[in-house]
Structure 1
Amino acid sequence: MKTFTVSIILFAGFLFVSGFNLDNAIVPPEAILSGGPPKDGIPAILEPRFVQPREARFLDGSDAVIGVRIGNEARAYPLKILNWHEVVNDTINGVPIVVTF
């Protein structure tokens, strides 16, 4: 109960300083709770590791990937992994990229 009370107080304070006018809100502002992971709660992949396609036994042939090709270098970022990390920082052919999902 203490955590709930603190959450409501923090959220109400956020609403006050955020500039949102909630006078006509359908849901009472005090009933709105923060959800999801905290800030920086989903770690980015900063040094991705890759395997050859025939070695990727953790993937099925129907698993979706985000593909990136720069010059003659191509990489596949499986959504199965991006579901947990959402961000990959990588460099392909000397070009820094970010893959997000």
Structure 2
Amino acid sequence: LLLSGFKLDNAIVPQEEILSGGPPKDGIPAILEPKFISAAKVAFLSPGDQVIGIEVGGQARAYPIRILNLHEIVNDTVNGIPIAVTF
């Protein structure tokens, strides 16, 4: 059981009975080198699909929620500035 700094000394449930309920550390792969296409060429999104949109120094990017649901984080560099997009 990975405690990540939490102390269970006074827990009501014995520590040996606590089970992980999700993926392990790094079990959801981040996108480290995202690839982009122009909005005019996007075929995998529908008009109602949501995105997280950003603009840094005049450079715009859109990160589809459909993709973020699978990865939860995108590490990117926009206009020379490192960013993390999370969902």
In 2, Cα distance between equivalents of 1:92 and 1:18: 35
State the match for 2:32 in structure 1. 46
Shift of the alpha carbon at 1:18?
4.0
The answer to whether 1:96 aligns with 2:82 is yes
For structure 2, the residue ranges without an aligned partner over 5 or more in a row are none
Shift of the alpha carbon at 1:43?
1.0
Structural RMSD (CA): 2.0
The answer to whether 1:32 aligns with 2:18 is yes
Q: Which one of 7, 13, 19 corresponds to residue 7 of structure 2?
A: 19
Q: SS at the partner of 2:69?
A: helix
Aligned pairs (5 A) from 1:73-88: 73-88=59-74
Q: SS at the partner of 1:84?
A: helix
Q: SS at the partner of 2:67?
A: helix
Give the letter aligned to residue 47 of structure 1: E
Tell me: higher relative CO, structure 1 or 2? Use CA pairs within 8 A at least 6 residues apart: 2
Shift of the alpha carbon at 1:33?
1.6
Moved over 4 A (4+): none
For structure 1, the residue ranges without an aligned partner over 5 or more in a row are 1-10
In 1, Cα distance between equivalents of 2:74 and 2:21: 23
Say how many residue pairs are matched: 84
